[in-house]
Structure 1
Amino acid sequence: MSKLVFFFIIILCANLYSQNVDFNIVGNWNASDYWSNESKTTFTEDGYISMTINGEKIDGKNFIIHGGPNDGQKGEMKYLINSTTSPMQIDIIALKDNIEKGRILGIIIPVHHTKFLMLLSFDGKRPETMNDENYEKTLTLIKIE
Structure 2
Amino acid sequence: MKKFLIVLFVIPLLSMTVENDKTKFIGKWIGEDNKDIGYLSFDSKGFAYFETQGQIMGGEEFVLNGKKGSMTYEINPTTNPIQVDLILTLIESKEQKKLLCIANFIDDNTMEFAIGFEGIRPTEFDSENSILLKRQK
TM-score range, shorter chain: 0.7 to 0.9
- 1:79 aligns with 73
Q: Is 2:42 aligned against 1:47? A: no
Tell me if the contact between 2:58 and 2:69 (Cα under 8 Å) persists in the aligned partners. no
1:139 match: secondary structure: strand
1:128 to 96, 113, 123: 123
Contact 1:26 1:44 in 2 (8 A): yes
Conserved 8 A contact 1:30-1:144: yes
What is the TM-score normalised by the length of structure 2? 0.76
Gaps of 5+ in 1: 1-19, 67-71
Residues 116 and 129 of structure 2 are in contact (CA less than 8 Å); yes or no, is this contact kept in structure 1? no
Q: 1:122 to 1:54 in 2, by over 3 A?
A: farther
Which consecutive residues of structure 2, in runs of 5 or more, have no partner in the other structure? 1-16
Measured after TM superposition, the shift of residue 58 of structure 1 is 1.9
Q: State the distance in 1 between where 2:71 and 2:83 align.
A: 17
Shift of 1:55: 3.9
Aligned Cα root-mean-square deviation (Å): 2.0
TM-score by length of 1: 0.72
Counterpart in the other structure of 1:11: none
When Rg is computed on C-alpha atoms for both structures, the one with the higher figure is 1
Give the whole-Å Cα distance in 1 for the aligned partners of 2:95 and 2:74: 13
The 2-side partners of 1:57 and 1:111 are apart by: 26
Identify which of 66, 90, 101 aligns with 2:84.
90
2:55 aligns with 56
Report if the CA contact (8 A) 1:93-1:100 is conserved. no
One-letter identity of the residue aligned with 2:85: D
Query: What SS does the aligned partner of 2:103 have?
Result: strand
What one-letter code is carried by the residue in structure 2 that aligns with 1:137?
N
- The count of residues paired between Structure 1 and Structure 2 equals 117
The CA deviation at 1:135 is 1.8
**Letter in structure 1 aligned against 2:75:** I
Sequence identity percentage: 26
Residue 42 of structure 1 aligns to a residue whose secondary structure is strand
